[in-house]
Amino acid sequence: MSYFGIPRNQYILMSGAVLGIAQSLLLFILYLTGNLFGGASTFISLIIYLLLIYYAGVNYRDHYREGILSYGKSLGFGVKISILSGLFVGFFYFLLLTIIDPSLADYLIAETQDAYLAMGFSESEVANMQDAINMAGNPWMLFFSSIFNGLVYGFIVSLVVSIFVKRKGDPFKETMQNVE
């Protein structure tokens, strides 16, 4: 069974791509408005994760799993598409820091230093952590951390969404299949 003639593996990849593109578009809009690193971006991103993982999970259950999907399979589906989404977001950050706005790396480093100072670290402690702080502006580090963040966000969101997406089959019908 397929959804609009799309094989199951392609549907999983397409769902991850849609989630990644949606996240990247959000980040690009936030970048254009100067709010890329604000608290609102996390909340909006979480809402996008919830909506798209739920929608994709319901379609996956209904069109590829014959209306039956266990909690574990739903969780796995959500994590898979979230990791792929993280690849898209990581690629966006890589392009942003290397091609679109290379000066943004310096801004990230300065913001990270300010955050440590605001948490009560002394200037000498922040200076000692400079190598680690410089990683905040490294495009490769942002690429890989975006994949990891996709995994973490996807796992957490999928834990919740899977409660609503899972659907058990008819146990009598399943038992009778084994008898026949």
As a whole number of angstroms, the distance between CA 18 and CA 85 comes to 8
Which two structure tokens, joined as six digits, stand for 179?
């008898």
Count the Cβ atoms, other than its own, within 10 Å of residue 131.
7
Closest CA to 75 of 169, 149, 163, 170: 163
Length of the chain: 180
User: What's the pTM?
Assistant: 0.84
Q: Are 41 and 35 in contact (CB under 8 A)?
A: yes
Q: Are 56 and 65 in contact (CB under 8 A)?
A: no
Q: Is 96 exposed, middle or buried (0-12, 13-18, 19+ CB in 10 A)?
A: buried
Tell me what pLDDT residue 117 has.
84
As a whole number of angstroms, the distance between CA 178 and CA 180 comes to 6
Amino acid at 148: F
Task: Give the angle subtended at the CA of 34 by the CAs of 28 and 35, to the nearest 5°.
Answer: 80
Q: Biggest alpha carbon distance in the chain?
A: 75
Per-residue pLDDT tens digits of the chain, which is 180 residues long: 566 678 889 999 999 999 999 999 999 998 898 877 766 778 888 999 999 999 999 999 998 888 889 999 999 999 999 999 999 999 999 999 999 988 888 888 888 888 888 888 888 887 888 887 787 778 898 899 999 999 999 999 999 999 999 988 766 665 665 665
